[in-house]
Amino acid sequence: MKPKSLLLPRVLVLVGATLLSVGCGGRAVPVRFAEQSALSMGAREAPVADPTVALTSDPPLPGEPTGAWSGLAIDGGVRAGGGHVHAH
């Protein structure tokens, strides 16, 4: 038989852990979501990017709209001051 001095701390830890875990599950979830929410059933589908655009079309020339070429800078990546930076 185990001594009472070791059994009591184990029981207290078990009861404390149970109470803490029960207290974590009390969060309410809304029944309906706003129409603007991505979780709403009436929300628009996210646009699908074409991963083959770089293989199937020519890149835009400077000044042309970038369109499906996501990640291209509108200004063509040109910085003020000549487009280059010296390390100082």
- 42 lies in some domain: no
Look at residue 83 and tell me if it is in a domain.
no
d(CA 60, CA 65): 7
Give the residue numbers spanning the domain of 66.
52-76
Q: What is the pLDDT of residues 8-21, one digit of tens each?
A: 788 888 888 888 88
Question: What's the domain count of the chain?
Answer: 1
Give the model confidence (pLDDT) of 20-65 as tens digits.
887 776 667 767 777 778 777 788 887 787 888 888 888 888 888 8
Residue 24 lies in a domain: no
Show the tokens assigned to 62. 């400077």
- Residue 58 resides in a domain: yes
